[in-house]
A and B are shown apart, each in its own frame.
Chain A
Amino acid sequence: MPRRFAQFLLACWCLGGAATGGSSAPVAPAHPSEAARTWISARKISALRFYRTMDPAIEYSEVRVKTGDDPRWAEPTWEDNSWQVLTRTGVPKVPVRAGIMWVRFRIRCVSPDGRLPEGFLLWNLMASYDVFWDGRALAHSGRPANTRAEEIEGGSVLSRAVPSDLAGPGEHVVAIRLSSHHVWGAPEYSGLTLVMMTPGDYDAKFRRDNILPVMASSALFTIAIVALAIWVIAARQRVLLYFGAMCSAGGAFVSISWYTLAYNYPYSWKYDLQLAFAAAALALNVSLGAVILEEWTVPRRRWWLAALLLMDGAVVVQTFPRFLQLPGLMVAVGFGFVLVSCGWAALHRRHGVWLIAAVVSFSGILLYRDPIHFVGSDFFQSFLPIVVGVLLVIVLRLRTERLQAHETKLTAARLEIELLKKNLQPHFLMNTLTALAQTVEENPALAVRLIDDLAEEFRTVARISSEKIVPLAQELALCRAHLKVMRARTDLDWQLDADGVDPAASVPPAVFLTLIENSFSHQRATAGATTFALRSVVEHTRVRYRFRSPGAVTLDSTRVMGGTGLRYIRARLEESFPGAWSLGHGEVPGGWETVIELRTSNNQRADR
């Protein structure tokens, strides 16, 4: 692990083109023993995958530096043993903003023919420079000078052909005269990578290596646009915005990484790009966290995000001011945060937990195994499972919601029909008509009143059947109309006592009416007990209704377990107060009591 992490830091340094300062001195002191020439194979310079593709026969000597300016230092025969050694084994760290200086090293090819590729590629060097090959001026990037005003800023990449007479067997001396007055911000050192490669090969590699980043950034930005379009047109859900932001951040992450490696831009932009890369990583981290929190509707999301930002802040402080390790650490923190969220979501039975945990764990393993390339060339492939996983979870939820919405509409229609059917039930309607026929003969005036009461009940039911919520006063009026009809049918003095309840409170239609009907179906009336009682208790955000039905109870299975009446009540409550209601019932002295509790917040929402 320490070795892997060291490689990671090295990779960050190479990608950023800047070197950390601090305790590790970049310029090794000159010692007599260092005068001895050392060689390293091109493949062993860096752990970056790119170096593993290089010809192992090409070897580099140690890299030496000297501040000052002397045209003779370009000569291959110039004795540079007294110069400071920048590195013998890795990518050299060239001091920046240190006036004009020269860097010298040697290249050779130990293959049987001993010839070098006839060209080189020089990048990562934040400087304006002239390149001398065996003393001959071969290329320049900008113009180095003693002052910032005089220096003409060079680019980040340089590719040049090497004449065939300079690529033959034996050692070749590369001398670079450079200045870096335009470097700004935190970097104190610049990387220097010179790879032997003909310009034709470089162009081919550039084209080849461009394909994946272009596809990756295009794909991520396209997904982001699609998510935004869905948000605008179809589903106004914040999670889609966050998901779009996450994909945009991922697209920016890939684009910046790709631009940094592939394009020739003024070298002073290097630090700007490093900051942009860090910002993209931060945006990716935060948007990923926000998507997960929003998708699972984690309570107190702001606090969760604050905790994430706190960890991000620690990463920023830790990597300030160069932010070289920031992208990798930021991604690691983001993954850790998501996995913690998965733990919470698993406990609270949120959908898609295992899918998200699986894809994030998979990407996390890739990050752990190869952090260097995870935030570089492999980012898209490594991050893609998360994008697909999160997208899948969101889409599946949207599908479920659409089905539920459809089901809700059907339920509403069914409930409306159910309520209308209540008045057309043979038991109610035919018994009432039979009683009416008898009353017409016995007492015509009473029969007229019965017709009026029946009509009032029918009118009210027709009016409220399609409503989700009605004022309690209207529900009570419906109940009393029904009791008047029952009074005429049974010769018993049915009453409803609802003292103290709030007539403006909202309730689903015909819920208490159904309780009354249930009472007539399951309880035996007695002349002395004919008063139904409704009481309400308001407790903070809840309102609890106690409805007491009089009469001897028959504990048949439908009364205890719930028949069509209770099914209707439960369906109505769920329709009007989704997830914010409870219903309990049981036998009490002299009757049956039903307790319905509604949460006020949802009550208000339903009112709106």
Chain B
Amino acid sequence: MRILIVEDEAVVARRVEKFCREILGDQLESVRVSGTFEGAWAILSESAVDLLLLDLNMAGQDGMALLESSVAGSFHTIIVSANTEQAMRAFDHGVIDFVGKPFTIERLSQALRRVSQPDGRSAEPARCLAIRKQGRIQVVPVSDVHYIQGAGDYSQLVLADGRRELHDKSLERLQTVLPPVFERIHKSFLVRRTEVICLHTLEGSQWRAELKDGTMLPVGRTYYRDFRAKLQ
């Protein structure tokens, strides 16, 4: 796992780094530390990371802007902050966990597991998704998303009004932060279960999920049985 720690207090940053090394051991591919958000983005632009450990209260930084920029990225974000009253807002925006300071190694370990395990889920589902669009961040309410289509390392959100928005996160990472109502029905599709009105069986063991707006989405063999059970 490639981790970037964004923390302006050197001693605290050292503690986070030390715990990460102890928790992940060999799984830790790289860990880098930045005292500023600009420095962090410079690192992100030149090398890929899997996880951002972010302090929201950094000197001279707008915490909300940091949060939105972070969750719009392709990586997962864990907030490590003293201001726990910001936790709900952070979760709303799609962070995978919020670790309050001072923290124990066990608590940080629990947060890291949400990222490292395949079926990991965020502690609280996101209520909105931040999308990087033409150099700015646009926030889309999760309730507006009907289904999501995978597009390589990216995802395409299909919204209630038919608009399509590209998100930097992969389908797998988005599923980690989205509410459980979003079901994986295909290797390339996540759908809001409540939008599906029926399943159609086609020739050759193929299935289609029909949405309320008439859209037909493919349902993969791996997911069909489980999804049909949940629909019933």
A residues within 8 Å of B by Cβ? 426-431, 433-439, 442, 488-492, 520-525, 551-554, 556
Contacts and interface: CB of A to CB of B under 8 A. Distances in A.
Interface string B69-90: 0000000000000111100000
List the 3 closest A-B pairs by CB distance, nearest first. A430-B82, A554-B60, A438-B15
Given A427-B82, A430-B102, A522 B11 contact: no
B82 A521 contact: no
Contacts of B18: 438
Given A437-B15, A489-B11, A429 B60 contact: no
Interface of B is mostly: loop
Given A431-B12, A488-B11, A489-B11, A437 B102 contact: yes
Nearest to A556: B62
Contact of B83 (A427, A438, A556): A427
B59 interface: yes
Given A435-B15, A491-B10, 18 more contacts: A426-B101, A428-B82, A431-B9, A433-B102, A434-B9, A435-B11, A436-B102, A437-B102, A438-B14, A438-B15, A442-B14, A489-B9, A489-B11, A492-B10, A522-B60, A523-B59, A524-B8, A553-B60
A410 B205 CA distance: 75
Contacts, number: 77
A427 B10 contact: no
15 contacts: A426-B101, A427-B83, A428-B82, A430-B100, A431-B12, A434-B15, A438-B14, A488-B11, A490-B8, A490-B11, A491-B11, A523-B59, A524-B60, A551-B59, A556-B62
Nearest to A552: B60
Contacts of B61: 554
Nearest to A436: B102
Contacts of B8: 490, 524-525
Interface in B6-54: 8-12, 14-15, 18, 36
A438 B82 contact: no
Most buried by B among A426, A428, A442: A426
- Contact count band on B: 20 to 34
B103 interface: yes
Nearest to B12: A434
Most buried by A among B12, B14, B85: B12
B138 interface: no
A444 to B, nearest CB: 14
A426 B60 contact: no
A165 B65 CA distance: 114
B11 A429 contact: no
Given A523-B59, A524-B59, A426 B84 contact: yes
A438 B60 contact: no
A492 B13 CA distance: 14
B170 interface: no
A429 B82 contact: yes
B84 to A, nearest CB: 7
A523 B59 CA distance: 6
A525 B36 CA distance: 10
Contact of B59 (A439, A442, A488, A521): A521
A520 B59 contact: yes
A520 B61 CA distance: 11
A524 B36 contact: yes
Contacts of B101: 426, 430-431, 433-434
Given A523-B60, A524-B36, A524-B60, A435 B12 contact: yes
A532 to B, nearest CB: 14
Nearest to B61: A554
A430 to B, nearest CB: 3
A322 to B, nearest CB: 83
B57 interface: yes
Most buried by B among A437, A439, A442, A552: A437
Contacts of A490: 8-11
A437 B19 CA distance: 12
A433 B15 CA distance: 12
Given A427-B83, A430-B82, A438 B59 contact: no
B62 A427 contact: no
B102 to A, nearest CB: 4
Contacts of A551: 59-60
Given A437-B15, A489-B12, A431 B82 contact: yes
Nearest to A559: B60
A87 to B, nearest CB: 96
Nearest to A438: B15
Contacts of B15: 434-435, 437-438
